[in-house]
A and B are shown apart, each in its own frame.
Chain A
């Protein structure tokens, strides 16, 4: 059954879609087209003159070793954050799904980190793990580890992964919990009668049935790590030490805003845009096929 509204003229339907169209054009298509246009220009540092240079910005980009390094950093960063934020969220959700006392408060509290702005989350974590000020850094240093995310690239990456993971667990938790609650109780009970212990039930029944949720969250989490961790990176490491935690999106900012290379920065944004469009397309195709199990 399809419900359709029928309009006699064109005026009303056009008026009705106008706000949506205006928002999409002003806030998405126009900036996107600006970025594409700018990626073909070379501008002087003061923004006074610019010239059309074709694909030179792109070519220059792929000749930079820093760009490949940022790619590798992004892959490592997103793999770690996706793995930890999803597995911890799934663990918490499967506990919250049980009928436990205080489960409601537990669920509510777990959602709070999602409401914290990325930059503030980053500041919180740097306060805890700052080599000299950090309350949690002191015991680590006392344990004989030369903890210093300001100088050690691996330490900086660990700190970033921790803060980005912490912030995204809430989101993944919510979806995993909803996914778990959608699995009929009787299917789990049938598994129990069929002789599967709790771990075996989880891996052979629950986890496969959650796969649509898991896939959706994988895409969303990767997009999150690619773009929304900018605030965290900026607050925690600023892409350092020595560019070791500069991801693709942070490099866009570093080159364009700090380095003044607007054309090269625009070219990088266009590449990022292509990546996210591809990810979204994959997700939509998967969801639309509705092949769930």
Chain B
């Protein structure tokens, strides 16, 4: 087992395209680290650099105490699960899992023992003689996992392994991956663009955008205290509402002429200066009476989600979404009063997009 350390890692492609712009990150031994971000943010490139499938243009990658910049993928002691599974189509499930061990000249009985063991854990014992094309997507996914675990590597790398599965299977496999990782205790790095996967799987969540890290933290930290507007709108569903506002004074901002109180606000902001006010749709209480810290909203339409309803409308002329339990508010409401808990207001600098919380 080993941790992974990245030190100002860069990737520059031909034509001076910088895909990864100096990423530094420490991943503790045995932890589950998820890299999340929109497509093109450099997360897959970063993972492929750790795997050794892409050259490193700058910086240093360490697995354990060993710098692996120039080490062949085969010698990095890692295993990878690919998005399209990348099973060897001409080999049986057994041979797919045994291939890596055979290449490393593992004794035959040891190979058999490990493959059987992995097959048992993943419940694919009855498919060992089949070819990958005779398997369903979920079964192929398990074989790909099996191929990774028989090798007993230092680090597991996952490149969007669930995005080819249907929604139901994805949830099921997500739980299994988490359980398996906890049981084996192998350091894992997982790339996804799905924020639900990112939140549920990670011990350490890394949000990336434009080749850089936006924020690193536990899922709860990232959700509760997003450091940038990007993180605020990327993590959480439906995304956080961002309203243009003005600083009124310490602990007070106004949105469209209505003043609300804020707990987490940087000191010394000039009254009257522009600020961005972030409110999560699920943090807003609708249907109360106008109080000390409330906003009024004009409702345009309602989306039904079963257990909850999403009220779409405008606050002070800006698009706004409120989530409420079904039946809590009459669905034909044209106007809503939203009471705001000062602890749930996030403030961002309109220029730098950084959080303007207490230092």
Contact = CB atoms under 8 A, between A and B. Distances in A.
Q: Do A and B originate from a single complex?
A: yes
Interface of A: 184, 186-187, 189-197, 200, 204-205, 208-209, 211, 292-293
B86 A190 contact: yes
B80 A187 contact: no
B256 to A, nearest CB: 51
Contact of B80 (A184, A190, A200, A208): A190
Interface string B79-103: 1101110111110000000011001
Given A187-B88, A209-B89, A293-B90, A194 B74 contact: yes
Nearest to B148: A193
A190 B103 CA distance: 12
Q: Is the interface of B mostly helix, strand, loop or mixed?
A: loop
Given A209-B90, A292-B90, 13 more contacts: A187-B88, A189-B51, A189-B73, A189-B82, A189-B86, A191-B99, A192-B53, A193-B52, A193-B80, A194-B103, A195-B100, A196-B99, A211-B90
- 8 interchain residue pairs of minimum CB distance: A293-B90, A194-B100, A186-B86, A195-B103, A195-B74, A190-B86, A208-B90, A186-B82
Given A186-B82, A187-B86, A193-B80, A200 B74 contact: no
B82 A194 contact: no
Interface in B98-150: 99-100, 103-104, 131, 147
B231 interface: no
B356 interface: no
Contacts of B51: 189, 193
Interface of B: 51-53, 72-74, 78-80, 82-84, 86-90, 99-100, 103-104, 131, 147, 151
A180 to B, nearest CB: 15
Nearest to B153: A193
Contacts of B88: 187, 190-191, 205
Contacts of B72: 192
Interface centre among A191, A194, A195 (most CB of B within 10 A): A194
A190 B82 contact: yes
A188 to B, nearest CB: 9
Contacts of B73: 189, 192-193
Given A194-B103, A195-B104, A293-B131, A189 B53 contact: yes
24 contacts: A186-B86, A187-B87, A187-B89, A189-B51, A189-B53, A189-B73, A190-B82, A191-B88, A192-B52, A192-B53, A192-B72, A193-B51, A193-B74, A193-B78, A193-B79, A194-B100, A194-B103, A194-B147, A195-B74, A195-B100, A195-B104, A196-B74, A204-B99, A205-B88
A293 B100 contact: no
Interface centre among B52, B80, B151 (most CB of A within 10 A): B80
A189 B84 CA distance: 12
Contacts of A191: 88, 99
A192 B104 CA distance: 12
A186 to B, nearest CB: 4
